[in-house]
Structure 1
Amino acid sequence: MTRLLSDARVRLGACVLALAVVAGVGAVTNAKAPLTRAEGVEEPTRAVVNRTALSCPVPGAGVKMQNFVNAVSPALPDDTPTAEGDETPLAIRPLAATSNPVGSVLVRGKIASTAVTAKLDPLSVQGTGPLAAGTVATSTTTSTEGVNRGIASVPCQVPGSDFWFVGASAAPGRRDVLVLTNLDSVNAEVNVTLYGGSGKLDAPNARGIVVPARGTAEMFLGQVAPGQRDLALHVESTGGRVAPAVRDNVTNGKTPAGVDWLHVSAAPAEKVVVPALAPGGGVRILTLVNPTDLQATAALTVNGPNGPFKPAGLSTLQIPAGSVKVVRLDKALHGDPAAVTITSDQPITASTRMTDSTVTEFATMGATEPLRGPAYLVLPPHTQPVVLLATAPDQTAGVRFELRDAANKVIQTRTLDVIAGATNLITFKPQAKPTYLMVEQLRGDLHAGVTLTPPAKPAEDAVPQVAAWPLTTSLVFRAQLGAQPDLRAALK
């Protein structure tokens, strides 16, 4: 031992080891409090967002089409952290790297709009700096005739790697297309898993789809799942990021019956809420998917304006493993605004489909996550009132909203309670110019969306317009992941 300690290298190693042990003990005995966020905390965690990238899709070819994008970097609460530096404009532009901007977000709070055009160029909203925080955009197309007759309007999508769409179809009269957009400078690769009424589908052509850099790829559902009436899609990127959208054109024989986009549904869970079932006449269809290997038993609760109730004959549903199930809700709703809460013994997700009274136009709404902070939505110009539908599926919740015009002036605001189990309806007047809406959850679980439907007695030559827009917590206010471990637990 004496000879060992006389070796300089051994003595040096022993010193380093001793220092490491002391440092380790210090880390444990004087551990800092972990960076965690208590479950159910009402105050949202705020992140500094200094970059934005949004994908704004457009429908397929048609006649007399008018396409435009409205975007805004919204007014944020006074204490919201934003990136440092000058307010560099955010560019609205086609996907190609060499393309020129067709619009710009120049200042916080003021809505930027592209010129109305018949061109079918998908657009992006991209940029860095302080204006990136909270930026949202909406892509809207209207047409008075042809396969795109009506309105198709969808929030521009943040790219990611995992998405669910429920309520697609490859049945006669449906022409549904999955549109994949890649805003990055490298190719992306995507796998799509399809579920039908009889179970999970074998669709090899839906695997390994390459989406070119700054480009798009399309998958026609009629080719990969011919004849399948009811479909759900799980879109997963295996390399790179994509912004998917499902375009849905409908015809009754040779008569156009609407076009719109299927909104993304929340990931499967044992409890999901589909908000914003529009008031009025028409069809209301709920589509559910059970992607697991076990049969699911699901319980339905309708959250109406007067509180929750179980729809007669539909309160309990059996959904076979890997399958899609469809139920009609219009008779149970009686034209009232509502949401649907579904609880299940297996993870599921869902969406609803809403039509006008003539069943010639439609919109969809997917299951949403509860709001955990302010949500922002740009609303295109509309000649009919739109309605905000807010639902508190469990306990009474508090909500505050602000509707601002294109110049950032508040034109309507209110704070209210949403009674436990009920859906509240707030109406906004027609607007000739785009507006933007802020909806903030103050307490309790809250799900919300906005809908547009035709008047009860439209003019004889009027083109019906049905639209729906979900509300999701802004990225600025979403809880941050990767909390540090609590080293103090080792001392207990």
Structure 2
Amino acid sequence: MKTVMKGVALRFGAVAAVAGVLVGVASVVPPRVPEAGRPPSRVALERATLVCPEPSFVRGVSSTDVAAISALTEADIPGRRSGRRLEPALDIAPLGQTKAVASGTRRHEVVSYSVRTSEVPPLLVAARGDLAPGVTAGQLTRTDEGPLRGLAEALCVAPASEFWFVGAGSEVGRHGRVYLTNADEGTAHVDLLLFDEKGPVAAETGRGLAIKGGSQMVVELDRLAPTSKRLAVAVRTRQGRVTAALRDDAVQGETPQGVDWIPAAVPPARDVVVPGIAPGSGERVLSIVAPGDSTATVEVSILSPQGSFRPAGLERVEVKPGAVTQIRLDEVTQKSAAAVRLTSDVPVTASVRSVVGATDGPRDVVHTAATRAVAGTAVVPLTLGGARRSATLLLSTTSQRSASATITLHALDGRPLDKTETTVRPGSTAAVKLTAPAREKHYVITVRSDSGGPLYGARLLVENAPDGPLASAWPLFSGATTAVRPVARPDPTAGIGSEEPRDAIFG
């Protein structure tokens, strides 16, 4: 029987050292005494850790593939190198275990792991040395039948103190689960703040959650907010850091209606862009949350293949304080790929839910969320190939100038497979179909923003299964490449020749 919170206590041991220096934190090196007034410097990342939330496997029904890669070139990595260099390594290991299940030492080569056994804990992707800057990882679960039928793709993310998810729900047939993973040594204290169609949800059992180091807690949203039709979730830590992921699935009677990991949206802002609205028929539902104390007046603009426009009747939308509003966009997008730009007088954030498949059979869903523009190069670490599968890049720009990009497909061993340049017209969305050699069952995509306006996008993956399509999406984003090294102050009481801490995987 499921409970509201399911804690998965896992042996942690020395693996805490792996997560002790995570994305955004530079390695410890003996500092030089700075000059007075010297500002902090940016240095290339030397260590990074990402967490993959749930590598599920059911024999004959579902399987999960996890892939990690550091695909950036030296030119993509700003910031000066530190004096000490770490040996490059990229490892995948179960949380709480010291032995890696997959390893690599070369840039541009994928480190992958196919989950073929049940009850695998969350997976840590740990990178160091030249493989840390821009490291990207993801998990892709394919389920053939049952209530979780579909493609479900999740980013493996770095620990942080805040995450936002928009577009879940607890209506009949919908089921959402929040996965909170603490890869650090100390206990993290977390609050889940919920918002629905009426406003903030009073869910005290979601406050003050204590997640021990090296463990994962799963929170069932339909227990916290059983009557909420539209949900947004803010994950905030009072102490420590966690990774957060939200899986959403739906059924209608006994017919599966899709499963997906809702990607984290950017924090609320006055100007946000949700790219990757899938082409084709089916519901396209925009969810907007205004978590503040004031009503949000939101201007909606559609970035279509023909250009930008404000849809009639939806030019301005009001979102009540602390509430979630949903808007149907399928008649507006007219079966074309699109993106939506929201300009608001108070901070908001958003997502779009695209339903794929016929109404009288199994369907799947694709979620895309408000995201930042690509800065430099974005990497999609895993795309499935094959005759029944198709992949499309949905690229958008909000600028009055065209945006140009270079798209490269790579084999898992780093070999280039195809390269093309594309241009997105001002204020529009372009759908770029990708073609990889038939022999490549998996491949990597890199998208480099070359010039022009800001570039937003997602990779859409569709499989034409016999009983209906399976679909998933990957948001384009630029991985972290640098960390801020604070100014070191002389301390006459400090020891000399401190050693860099060792970690359980790398040693």
TM-score, L = length of structure 1: 0.84
Matched with 2:498 is none
Q: CA deviation at 1:353?
A: 0.4
Cα deviation code 1:428-470 (max 9, x no counterpart): 125643222222223321211111234xxx56x3452110111
1:404 maps to 410
Partner of residue 437, structure 1:
445
Which residue does 2:394 correspond to in 1? 389
Corresponding residue for 2:461? Answer: 452
Cα deviation for residue 474 of structure 1 reads 1.9
The answer to whether residue 153 in structure 2 is matched with residue 145 in structure 1 is no
CA distance in 1, matches of 2:247, 2:349: 19
For 2:66, which of 69, 80, 95 is the aligned residue? 69
Q: Is the 8 A contact 1:71 1:113 kept in 2?
A: yes
Return 421-430 or 199-208, whichever deviates more. Answer: 421-430
Deviation at 1:86, TM superposition (A): 5.5
- Residue 59 of structure 1 and its aligned partner are, at CA, apart by 6.5
* Deviations 1:169-204, CA, capped at 9 Å, x for gaps: 111101101110111122211111111101111111
Distance 1:236 1:398 in 2: 37
Aligned match of 1:3: none
Matching residue's letter, 1:449: A
Aligned counterparts of 2:420 and 2:64: Cα–Cα separation in 1: 32
The number of residues matched between the two structures is 440
In structure 2, the CA distance between the partners of 1:117 and 1:311, relative to structure 1 (3 Å rule), is same
Q: Report what 1:313 is aligned to.
A: 313
Q: Is the 8 A contact 2:300 2:311 kept in 1?
A: yes
Change (3 A) 1:450 1:208: same
Within 5 Å, give how 1:316-335 maps onto structure 2: 316-335=316-335
What residue is the counterpart of 1:113 in the other structure? 112
Q: How does 1:247-396 map to 2 (within 5 A)?
A: 247-358=247-358, 360-383=363-386, 384-396=389-401
- Per-residue deviation at 1:57? 1.6
What amino acid sits opposite 1:413 in the alignment?
A: K
Change (3 A) 1:370 1:115: closer
Higher strand share: 2
**Which of the two has higher C-alpha Rg?**
1
- Matching residue of 1:415: 421
- Residue 3 of structure 2 corresponds to none
Counterpart secondary structure, 2:470? coil
Q: CA deviation at 1:281?
A: 1.9
Please, which moves more after superposition, 381-390 or 288-297? 381-390
Amino acid at match of 1:71: A
User: What is the CA-CA distance between 1:35 and the residue it aligns to?
Assistant: 8.0
Partner of 1:54: 50
Instruction: Return 5+ residue gaps in structure 2 as ranges.
Output: 1-34, 488-507
What is the one-letter code of the residue matched to 1:57?
A: P
CA distance in 1, matches of 2:65, 2:404: 34
d(CA) in 2 for partners of 1:47, 1:150: 41
Q: 1:314 to 1:189 in 2, by over 3 A?
A: same
Using the TM superposition, name which of 435-444 and 404-413 deviates more. 435-444
Equivalent residues of 2:55, 2:139 under 8 A apart: no
2:56 & 2:114 partners in 1: Cα distance?
A: 19
**Separation in structure 2 between the aligned mates of residue 218 and residue 301 of structure 1, nearest angstrom:** 36
Q: Quote the Cα distance in structure 1 between the aligned partners of 2:55 and 2:285.
A: 23
- Cα displacement (A) at 1:78: 4.4
The CA distance in 1 between the partners of 2:206 and 2:56, in whole Å, is 21
1:72 Cα deviation from its structure 2 partner? 1.0
Q: Is the 8 A contact 2:56 2:62 kept in 1?
A: no
- CA shift, 1:395, in A, is 2.4
Secondary structure of residue in 2 paired with 1:114: strand
RMSD: 2.5
Query: Does the residue aligned with 1:369 lie in a helix, a strand or coil?
Result: coil
Looking at structure 1, the residues matched to 102 and 74 of structure 2 have their Cα atoms a distance apart, in angstroms, of 26
Aligned partner of residue 298 in structure 1, secondary structure: strand
Alignment of 1:21-100 (within 5 A): 47-58=43-54, 64-78=61-75, 80=77, 85=85, 87-96=87-96, 98-100=97-99
Aligned residue identity for 1:68: D
Question: 1: CA distance between counterparts of 2:58 and 2:253?
Answer: 18
- Any unmatched runs of 5+ in structure 1? 1-25, 37-45, 484-492
Deviation at 1:481, TM superposition (A): 9.7
1-side partners of 2:396 and 2:337: how far apart?
Answer: 10
SS at match of 1:445: coil
Distance 1:353 1:47, change over 3 A: farther
Q: Percent identity?
A: 32
Amino acid of the residue matched to residue 435 of structure 1? Answer: Y
